[in-house]
Amino acid sequence: MKNILFVCTGNSARSIMAEAYMNTAGAGAWRAFSAGSTPVGAVNPFALETLARHDVKPPREARSKSWNEFTRPGAPVMNIIVTVCDNAAGETCPVWPSGDGAPPRMLHWSFPDPAAATGGDDAKRDAFAAVFADIRTRIDQFLESSEAS
């Protein structure tokens, strides 16, 4: 089984939804995790609601956590790290542990921040649904491609 880490700045929405969907779609082949460079401390409730609406179980530990948790001794070794927001892609990443001496492969998939949506709850739900649809499409494409090998 391969490990994949989805990284965003706050680890409250996009990376959480990507982790949850990958653990559903890639079950048996991939184990997904998420983290943030500057975690906000809580998962956005619209992210959890969006996952529930699509019958996707939330992550095992639905919490906003630092990417530093994945650099410590004993942390799962990642095969791939995917930044899902432009801010995290531009930050200096920590040194990730490797199992075979090679660093994990780095990918960047840019998704707009649904947590930045304005308006009422319906507008926010729509923003989360649209971003989740994009995440689902990108993960499905990844799983069907040679990138996942």
| CATH assignment at residue 100 | 3.40.50.2300
Closest-CA residue to 131 (of 46, 45, 28, 64): 46
Contact 136, 19 (CB under 8 A): no
Higher pLDDT: 94 or 26? It is 26
83 half-sphere exposure, CB direction, 13 A CA radius = 15
Provide the domain limits for residue 59.
2-148
Two tokens, residue 66: 């630092």
**Least confident window among 8-12, 33-37, 87-91, 97-101:** 87-91
Number of domains in the chain: 1
Give pTM, 2 decimals: 0.92
| Exposed/middle/buried for residue 46 (C-beta within 10 Å: 0-12, 13-18, 19+) | buried
List, in order, residues 6 or more apart from 102 with CB less than 8 Å away: none
Q: What is the pLDDT of residues 40-77, one digit of tens each?
A: 999 999 999 999 999 999 987 788 999 999 988 889 99
Average pLDDT, the chain: 90
pLDDT digits (tens, 9 = 90+) for 96-135: 666 677 789 999 999 999 999 999 999 999 999 999 999 9
Question: Does 12 score more than 70 pLDDT?
Answer: yes
5/15 Cα distance (integer angstroms): 9
